[in-house]
A and B are shown apart, each in its own frame.
Chain A
Amino acid sequence: MEPYLLFSRDTRSIVFNMQTRAVQRMLDFDYLSGRNKPSVAAIVNPGNSGTHKAHWGKGEVLIPIYPSIQAATDANSDIDVMVNFASFRSAYATTKEALLNKQIRVVAVIAEGVPERKARELAHLSRKLKKIIIGPATVGAVGAGAFKVGNTGGTIDNIKEQKLYRRGSVGLVTKSGGLLNEMFNIVSHNTDGIFEGVAIGGDKYPGSGLIDHLLRYEANPKIKMMVALGELGGDEEYKVVDAVNRGLLTKPIVFWVMGTCSKMFPAGVQFGHAGAKAGAEAETADAKNKALKKAGVIVPNSFDTLGDEIARTFIKLKDEGKITPIEEPREIPNIPMDYADALKKGIIRKPTSFISTVADDRGEEVNYGGYPISEIVHSGGKIGDVISLLWFGRRFPKWATDFMEMALMIVADHGPAVSGAHNAIIASRAGKDLISCLCSGLLTIGPRFGGAIDDCAKFMSEAFGRGLSPRDFVSEMKDRNVKIPGIGHRVKSLENPDGRVTLLIEYARKKFPRADLLDYALGVQAVTTQKKSNLILNVDGTIGVLMVDMLRGVGYFDDDEVKRIVNLGYLNGFFVLGRSIGLIGHALDQKRLNERLYRHPWEDILYMVERKE
């Protein structure tokens, strides 16, 4: 490649750091410019390897990720540019490494705030090595239709608008990165477009200066005129004056040095850029504009007529026959809009795949059923309130949340012998993790173990709803040969009542607005205990019917909704939640005791396997 060119249509680069959005913008530019290959050959993400998937037009490509600059260049002999997105802390070391890498020719340094001494060293080192640094503190550069550094040029719309996807006849260099887009706009409005545009960055010691780029443009036969935007502070512009006077710059240059307002300001005002402070009269914008004009550079009276001067210069070149007409690309490929952008702009819609009506984690704080967690805690809410919000999407009254908590406490455990706890214990002793132990216990819950709450509520409320008398219900169940769930206890009886049941019933009588299903269940008990005194309403049955009474009493649900809630398995949820406390207890208990693998004794198993001959 000619030494006066920064980039070609074949330039391949490293993007240093995982700047995936910048990578995508570079690839979109490439595609728009009709490049065959993406300009990003590699991403360097220190210490990591892998691949990054990016869009390439309508399709996708994989870009390799390397742990170091050396690894990236070793694997890709065509890389000769690095776009360095390292932070101000590490920009120096990484840029130096890139400069010392044999393959890399151009480094763009994006970071703002690289210490002056480091930046100055890099600038001198790059000159010594005959390499080029763009920046630090810049958005970058564009070789129209060839290569784009990182985020230069802004959005795709902007790149299209300013025709950066194809080469024009103008070489542009600015100090300000923020105004590069605006300058592209001015140049594209008033000429046949940009050939190359560079923002050298606002630091005191930029890696390459205005003069370096203007001299390259001078050497480039495709560039017919140059536009430069300087700034108060420093002596960059005088190097241009000197070069013009020495005949090193002969092409027309339209130049404006910004900061002419500084004379109005009290001493010591620092403009946006680090280099933007006039120390001496010669460093003021006025003095520089005057010196440039004197040397024969085209200097407008103010920024406001910069565009007019550019247009006049271009027309003159055209009239002199020096401008070769641009061959516009026959077709500019279309870059599909990103899904996220389209969504944000409201120009597409798509049905959602999921709904949540109980919790929302998108705001400042997660909320349960519309209440931020901290608010629930501050208002004295307890676990019952959390259940009512997350399971039912409503905040239940205190009598109901207290009842739910009471139910959870009562079902929390039933000793080590029942199937759930037993399974949890066996799994724990087999060395399984806590979650496996818990699941092992939970998996026993079903039609035979732990299902009574749910079933009792279902059968009783169904019969109650049909207006069946307790006596008829009992005989119907007998006819169907179905044992009534929630009725019967191993040892407790009418004479020796279950303390837990007494407690629940007393609570309901005192706090529930109504307890119709409890009354019905007690009616059923009156029938069954006539047969046998231990056929009492047991604790599962009591919780089941009272849950139904509670749901009816909180005032949010009609009968159909309550039925639906029961059918969906909500009541089983109370058992599962409560019993998990016990199952975790048993599993951890075994671990704490360091109990060994359980093996069931042979003598406890009846072996009846016939030996086959």
Chain B
Amino acid sequence: MARRGIREYDAKRIFYRMMPQYTGEKIKFDIMPILVDPGTNIDKLPEENPWLENMRLVVKPDQLFGKRGKSGLVLLDASFEEAANFIKQKMGKSAKIGQVKGKLTHFLVEPFIPHDSEYYIAVKMETDGDHIYFSTQGGVDIESVWETVKEIKVGPLEEQEFDPEPLLMDLKADERKLLLPFIKGTYRFFVNHDFVYFEINPFTIVDKKIKVLDMVAKVDDTAVFQNVGVWDFGEFPEPFGKDPTPEEAYIKSLDEKTGASLKLTILNPEGMIWTMVAGGGASVVYADTIVDMGFSKELSNYGEYSGDPSTELTYLYAKTILSLMTRAKHRSGKDKILIIGGGIANFTDVANTFTGIIQALREYSDKMKEVGVRIFVRRGGPNYKAGLEKMKEVGSEISIPIKVYGPELHMTSIIPMAIRDEGKGVN
């Protein structure tokens, strides 16, 4: 439930397809771009897209990162053979963009457009309305010529009254004739298809036709249901370099199969403090408190479970975290800390969800003893007393030090307690 970047390929595909109907057929695009992923047979592409062999081409990675030209990842004015070789050479290879390292897996191929003019248009959705920016001086350095950018705001209740005239005041008649429907149509497209950020920088005009060069777009992913048959890009792409670890991918796969929520991000697999916290808000607060107390380097993971997951799912979630934390002793030789935390649940049966965690704790009791683990529990909500009692019992049963609290203790107080306790377990 958030704003999500989409591939340039998808943004262009949807834009090219929908624009004719938002401009009374005044703006049309003839050639759809092509997306090459690791499963594409590049050599067979011209069979269905003969233009690939008749035109000069552009190739660029399409993985939600910018500054591609500066990183030497854009191929311009190439033949199909050159383009295919470029992709084959780069596919699956690592690249470093800024501080982020990742694997190149998706490339966009489209016609190369020699051009003189470069225009800029961007639309942003903000609290006070939609902001539309336009400049005739587009290009990579738009920020350095920001004074040329004209802006208008369309209030949230005024979408229907949008008038692009003020953006086009200084233009020549033939430019206006083309740009008026283009900007109007772009805004309609933006509004009707739940885009939250949309930028074409630059686009150009060749033979009285608009040609799009670079496009960046973000959409509101809650609006999938309103855009069936238009978006159609299946899964949202992950940001570049966010290749999940096998455990993260596993939890993600569990999460997708249930109405409940299971999240896991590994921050430092060698850290001392591991968290297993119920609830999105509570999980942030626990992580905050660990960081605020100066233990950010020891915070191993961020994650949460919520929405009343079944005993089975909680068991699998707990098992994943326990398997990660019991792989090796902490480098200091000190015990590791497991925080089983949460606020006061509204209706989730605490005893039920704890059953799954307890099952995992039993299974990992030997490994936890090998590595040295101390557990701190805090939780409230329906049936919490029975749940806490079970936790205490399992602690003594498997002989792992465990401290268990209910709502009488401030939610995060187990964090300073655990940290003060730090140093115990040193042999």
Contact = CB atoms under 8 A, between A and B. Distances in A.
Interface of A: 88-89, 112-117, 120-121, 123-125, 128, 137, 139, 151, 153-155, 157-158, 161, 176-179, 181-182, 184-186, 189, 202, 204-205, 231, 234-235, 258-261, 263-274, 276-277, 285, 301-304, 306-307, 345
Nearest to B415: A304
A179 B285 contact: yes
19 contacts: A113-B1, A115-B222, A154-B344, A155-B346, A158-B381, A178-B280, A185-B380, A234-B127, A235-B127, A260-B288, A265-B302, A272-B281, A277-B2, A285-B288, A304-B289, A304-B292, A304-B293, A304-B415, A345-B383
B145 interface: no
A154 B347 contact: yes
A88 B220 CA distance: 13
B173 interface: no
Contacts of A304: 289, 292-293, 410, 412-413, 415-416
A259 B302 CA distance: 12
Nearest to B343: A182
A301 B280 contact: no
Nearest to A186: B410
Interface in B164-212: 191, 194, 196
B344 A181 contact: yes
B155 A124 contact: yes
A271 B292 CA distance: 17
Given A158-B381, A181-B343, A272-B261, 12 more contacts: A88-B222, A115-B222, A115-B226, A157-B382, A158-B344, A181-B381, A264-B287, A264-B296, A265-B302, A269-B265, A274-B3, A306-B410
Given A121-B157, A307-B410, A178 B194 contact: no
Contacts of B267: 264-265
Given A124-B157, A258-B281, A345-B383, A269 B288 contact: no
B289 A270 contact: no
A161 B57 CA distance: 69
Interface in B232-262: 239, 242, 261
Nearest to B261: A272
B279 interface: yes
A461 B263 CA distance: 71
Contact of A128 (B157, B263, B282, B407): B157
B186 to A, nearest CB: 16
A115 B220 contact: yes
A117 B191 contact: yes
A272 B283 contact: yes
B223 A178 contact: no
Interface residues of B, number: 58
Contacts, number: 178
A303 B412 CA distance: 7
A264 B267 CA distance: 8
A261 B344 contact: no
Contacts of A186: 410-411
Contacts of A88: 222, 225
A349 B376 CA distance: 36
A151 B347 CA distance: 9
A261 B299 CA distance: 10
Contact of A114 (B222, B281, B302): B222
Given A264-B291, A266-B242, A303-B289, A139 B279 contact: no
Nearest to B287: A261
Minimum-distance CB pairs A-B, first 5: A272-B280, A176-B281, A182-B343, A302-B292, A261-B287
Contacts of A274: 1-3, 222
Contacts of B410: 186, 189, 304, 306-307
A184 B347 CA distance: 15
Interface of B: 1-3, 100, 125, 127, 155-157, 191, 194, 196, 220, 222-223, 225-226, 239, 242, 261, 263, 265, 267, 279-285, 287-293, 296, 299, 302, 304, 306, 343-347, 380-383, 407, 410-413, 415-416
B1 A268 contact: no
A139 B346 contact: yes
B1 A112 contact: yes
Contacts of A261: 284, 287-288, 290-291, 296, 299, 302
Given A179-B285, A261-B290, A307-B410, A155 B296 contact: no
A273 B1 CA distance: 7
Contacts of B279: 178-179, 272
Nearest to B349: A344
A174 to B, nearest CB: 8
Nearest to A199: B281
Contacts of A269: 265, 302
A311 to B, nearest CB: 11
A264 B299 contact: yes
Task: Please indicate which of the listed interface residues B191, B242, B283, B380 has the most CB atoms of chain A within 10 Å of its own CB.
Answer: B380
B125 to A, nearest CB: 7
B191 A179 contact: no
A275 to B, nearest CB: 8
Contacts of B381: 154-155, 158, 181
A285 B292 CA distance: 11
B376 to A, nearest CB: 13
Contacts of B306: 178, 272
B257 to A, nearest CB: 17
A456 B6 CA distance: 82
Nearest to B381: A154
Nearest to A304: B412
Contact of B282 (A113, A124, A179, A306): A179
B157 A125 contact: yes
A179 B293 CA distance: 21
Contacts of B263: 272
Contacts of B157: 121, 124-125, 128
A231 B1 CA distance: 16
A268 B63 CA distance: 14
A117 B159 CA distance: 11
B284 A258 contact: yes
Nearest to A111: B222
Contacts of A276: 284
Nearest to A176: B281
A179 B284 CA distance: 11
A116 to B, nearest CB: 4
B343 A117 contact: no
Contact of A270 (B2, B288, B292): B2
A117 B265 contact: no
A425 B212 CA distance: 80
Task: Please indicate which of the listed interface residues A264, A304, A307 has the most CB atoms of chain B within 10 Å of its own CB.
Answer: A304
A155 B346 CA distance: 7
Contacts of A158: 344, 380-381
A202 B304 CA distance: 16
Contacts of A181: 343-346, 380-381
A154 B308 CA distance: 14
B156 A154 contact: no
A231 B280 CA distance: 12
Contacts of B196: 116
B293 A154 contact: no
Contacts of A271: 280, 284
A124 B158 CA distance: 11
A302 B289 contact: yes
A62 B292 CA distance: 52
Contacts of A234: 127
A258 B265 contact: no
A204 B290 CA distance: 26
Contacts of B407: 161, 185
Contacts of B285: 179, 258, 303
Given A154-B381, A155-B347, A261-B287, A120 B412 contact: no
A167 to B, nearest CB: 21
Task: Please indicate which of the listed interface residues A114, A115, A155, A231 has the most CB atoms of chain B within 10 Å of its own CB.
Answer: A115
A182 B382 CA distance: 13
A272 B304 CA distance: 9
Nearest to A158: B344
